[in-house]
Amino acid sequence: MYDRGDGPGAAATRLTGRKATGERRLSGALSEVTLDDGREVMVKRADSAEEARAEAAGLRWLAEAGAVRVPTGHGQDGPWLVTDLIARGRPSREAALELGRALAGLHRAGAPAFGSAPPGGPREAFIGRAPMRNVEGAEWPRWYAEHRVLPYLRRAVDDGTITLSEAEVIERLCSRLPALAGPAEPPARLHGDLWNGNVLWGADGHAWLIDPAAHGGHRESDLAMLQLFGCPHLDEVLRGYESVAPLADGRPDRVGLHQMFPLLVHAVLFGRGYAEQALSTAKAALER
């Protein structure tokens, strides 16, 4: 007989109201749990209750936009988060085109300010395993420098991953952001951690988004992260996006600006290789 103990099965039972009849551990944090009505759900154990609360609030906020597909949430209990399981398929150009249109709709749903947290989400949030503070600001260049780039640069310097002399390059880029950022745009509703691993290509032929670090930000940031870490059929994603919400002229020249945040987060989490990529990206942006 299946013994659900005090792990993923117990969390699934509490949050769905259905008895768990089996589970399959996918990693230290993720499990697929089968319920007594035959459904399967995904159970995630975060590092803390606040991390799980931030993710749950982000998923709700994305879903409320009515644009992108996200797994239905069954609730959050302490560090546990339970959502529907998305059956995996293969990426296609049609799904990528649809994803681009959906992202445009998500971004147009907007946010109260740059740095706004999702309703019910904590100010002290997370991007992956790194802390991310949701502090609101009115102007994107200043907000982005102060609350997205510089905190991770300081931590990378403190950790010895980036030297003080190297940090000056990124600090110089931050000082020039007002001139480099392009036309002012209203705050967009961002997924916030949109690398390809957080895009699930479903067996139903659609793209689904998971694991958000949702906040109010610049819409080009989500697109730049997709480009940074690779996304199947990215050209179709961008084509779909522009068919709904054309991007301001010069976007290709601004990609590096928007990649500084995820690159520095990865430098803090994973070390020198990403620090070197951040530095080369900053130098290239300064030369444009």
Q: What are 248's two structure tokens?
A: 């301001």
193 is catalytic: yes
> Which residue in 36, 193, 235, 253 is the catalytic one?
193
Q: What are 191's two structure tokens?
A: 């997924």
Distance of alpha carbon 144 from alpha carbon 234, whole angstroms: 25
Q: Are 224 and 251 in contact (CB under 8 A)?
A: no
Give the 3-state secondary structure of residue 10.
Answer: helix
Q: Are 132 and 272 in contact (CB under 8 A)?
A: no
Spatial CA neighbour of 127 closest among 283, 279, 267, 265: 265
Q: Are 258 and 220 in contact (CB under 8 A)?
A: yes
Distance of alpha carbon 29 from alpha carbon 8, whole angstroms: 9
Distance of alpha carbon 252 from alpha carbon 245, whole angstroms: 16
Give the 3-state secondary structure of residue 285.
Answer: helix
Distance of alpha carbon 143 from alpha carbon 217, whole angstroms: 9
β-strand partners of 23: 33
Spatial CA neighbour of 136 closest among 193, 128, 144, 263: 144
Q: What are 107's two structure tokens?
A: 């971004």
- The enclosing H or E element of 260 equals helix 251-270
Q: Are 278 and 165 in contact (CB under 8 A)?
A: no
The residues annotated as belonging to the active site are 193
